[in-house]
């Protein structure tokens, strides 16, 4: 026999839940839609979390009052144009890009109308993303993740960690810098002041890593600086392993390398940049135009040191450097 109380309880519960489900669907239908285009998001889940936290701080909760469409090129730059076009076809309200300049350029080529917020770009003006930092002038704005003087600052930290070093290799990917050398000039100036010599070593991708490190070995370099690159970041564990194999004290511009065993990093906080990107999205959703929102340059830099990696290299980090570090991994 049917339990009448159970029947009515079930019926009542269904009547209670149905309106809530319908209401949730209505909210989702009216909620603004954000397209999130990344080169390698799975390699940097904390950056996505930082962006979501930034949105949350501004009152946006994914699935409740904002919808986010994620697209990833899985590290393959050639896939970016199609993914950007896909987001445009979905008629999102704004596109947020991660993965540096290539991702932002792909979004720009896909639309000259939809607002685009880049969370990290090497040189937005020279790379053709905006007209100027103060007045972007188009449908893009956002945050720059590196400054030319950063390379010199990295060399300063490396020289303090390895006082006796005289020859330092600088590993860079020309494509990541738009094929320019202006990012390298400050490094040469800093090197002269530090009384060290530099050997610039190019690598377009993972297939050239072994050759690059062999070149460093032949030159008998005493340390290494790795410049920012989305491809380098996606292959950070391999680069860290190669540096350890060749016993090269290495400084990086992204803390992600230290998290997988690298010696030290000095550079802008990408997590901070992704959080700040949420503020741009908020302003745009409230009616602001990208052309009127100045591009921000890095304001928060991090020095992170991995003492375990230092010990493996037989390197003693000076107390003065440790005291200045934002974080020390033991």
For the chain, list the domains and their CATH numbers: 15-146+270-292 (3.40.50.2300), 150-268+301-329 (3.40.50.2300)
Most confident of 4-8, 38-42, 126-130: 126-130
Mean pLDDT score of the chain: 87
Its pTM surpasses 0.75? no
pLDDT of residue 179: 42
Across 144-151, average pLDDT? 76
In sequence order, the β-bridge partners of residue 100 are none
Residue 28 pLDDT exceeds 70: no
Residue 31 in tokens: 């909620």
Burial of 150-188, coded b for 16+ CB within 10 Å and e otherwise, reads bbbbbbebbbebbeebeebbbbbbebbbbeeeebbebbb
Residue 271 pLDDT exceeds 90: no
Cβ partners under 8 Å of residue 303, min gap 6: 157, 264, 265, 266, 321, 324, 325, 326
Q: From residue 32, give the alpha-carbon distance in Å to each of 21, 27, 28, 90, 197.
A: 19, 10, 8, 12, 53
pLDDT of residue 87: 98
Task: Round to whole Å and give the CA distance between 317 and 311.
Answer: 9
Q: Angle 185-194/150-161 helices, nearest 10 degrees?
A: 30
Comparing 6-15, 275-284, 301-310, the range with the smallest average pLDDT is 6-15
Angle CA 140–142–143, to nearest 5: 140
pLDDT of residue 180: 52
The number of beta carbons lying within 10 Å of the beta carbon of residue 195 is 8
Please give the residue that has the higher pLDDT: either 167 or 227.
Answer: 167
pLDDT of residue 299: 77
**Binning pLDDT at 50, 70 and 90, where does residue 26 land?**
low
pLDDT of residue 91: 96
User: Could you read off the pLDDT of 301-322 as tens digits, one per residue?
Assistant: 889 999 999 999 999 999 999 9
Task: Round to whole Å and give the CA distance between 253 and 237.
Answer: 14
140 secondary structure, DSSP code: E
- Of 144, 93, 108, which is closest to residue 283 (Cα–Cα)? 93
Residue 43 pLDDT exceeds 70: no
β-strands 94-97, 301-306 pairing: unpaired
User: Could you read off the pLDDT of 211-226 as tens digits, one per residue?
Assistant: 999 999 999 999 999 9
Across 114-129, average pLDDT? 89
Residue 162 pLDDT exceeds 70: yes
The number of beta carbons lying within 10 Å of the beta carbon of residue 203 is 23
**Binning pLDDT at 50, 70 and 90, where does residue 288 land?**
very high
121 secondary structure, DSSP code: E
**Binning pLDDT at 50, 70 and 90, where does residue 45 land?**
confident
pLDDT of residue 148: 65
Residue 46 pLDDT exceeds 90: no
Across 188-192, average pLDDT? 92
279: left (phi over 0), alpha (psi -120 to 50) or beta: alpha
Cβ partners under 8 Å of residue 190, min gap 6: 151, 152, 153, 155, 156
**Binning pLDDT at 50, 70 and 90, where does residue 86 land?**
very high
User: Could you read off the pLDDT of 90-116 as tens digits, one per residue?
Assistant: 999 999 998 788 899 999 999 999 999
The number of beta carbons lying within 10 Å of the beta carbon of residue 63 is 11
Residue 134 pLDDT exceeds 80: yes
β-strands 264-268, 301-306 pairing: antiparallel
Residue 180 in tokens: 């320019």
């Amino acid at each position: 026999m049917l339990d009448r109380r159970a029947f009515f309880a079930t019926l009542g519960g269904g009547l209670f839940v149905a309106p809530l489900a319908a209401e949730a669907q209505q909210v989702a239908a009216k909620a603004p839609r954000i397209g999130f285009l990344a080169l390698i998001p799975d390699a940097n889940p904390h950056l996505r979390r930082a962006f979501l936290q930034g949105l949350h701080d501004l009152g946006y909760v994914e699935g409740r009052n904002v919808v986010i469409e994620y697209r990833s090129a899985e590290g393959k730059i050639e896939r970016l144009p199609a993914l950007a076009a896909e987001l445009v076809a979905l008629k999102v309200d704004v596109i947020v890009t991660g993965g540096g300049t290539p991702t932002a350029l792909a979004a720009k080529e896909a639309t000259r109308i939809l607002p685009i917020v880049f969370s990290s770009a090497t040189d937005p003006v020279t790379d053709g993303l905006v007209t100027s930092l103060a007045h972007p002038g188009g449908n893009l704005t956002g945050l720059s993740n590196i400054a030319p003087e950063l390379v010199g600052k990295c060399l300063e930290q490396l020289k303090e960690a390895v006082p006796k070093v005289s020859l330092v290799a600088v590993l860079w990917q020309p494509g990541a810098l738009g094929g320019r050398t202006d990012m390298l000039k400050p490094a040469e100036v800093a090197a002269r002041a530090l009384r060290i010599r530099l050997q610039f070593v190019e690598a377009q991708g993972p297939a050239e890593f072994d050759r690059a490190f062999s070149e460093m070995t032949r030159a008998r370099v005493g340390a290494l600086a790795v410049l920012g690159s989305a491809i380098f970041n996606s292959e950070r564990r391999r680069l860290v392993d190669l540096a350890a194999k060749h016993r090269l004290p290495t400084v990086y511009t992204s803390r992600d390398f230290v998290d997988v065993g690298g010696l030290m990093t000095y550079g802008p906080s990408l997590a901070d940049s992704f959080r700040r990107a949420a503020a741009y999205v908020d302003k745009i959703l409230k009616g602001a135009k990208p052309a009127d929102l100045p591009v921000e340059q890095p304001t928060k830099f991090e020095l992170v040191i991995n003492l375990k990696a230092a010990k493996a290299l037989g390197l003693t980090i000076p107390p003065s450097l440790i005291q200045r570090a934002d974080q020390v991994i033991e």
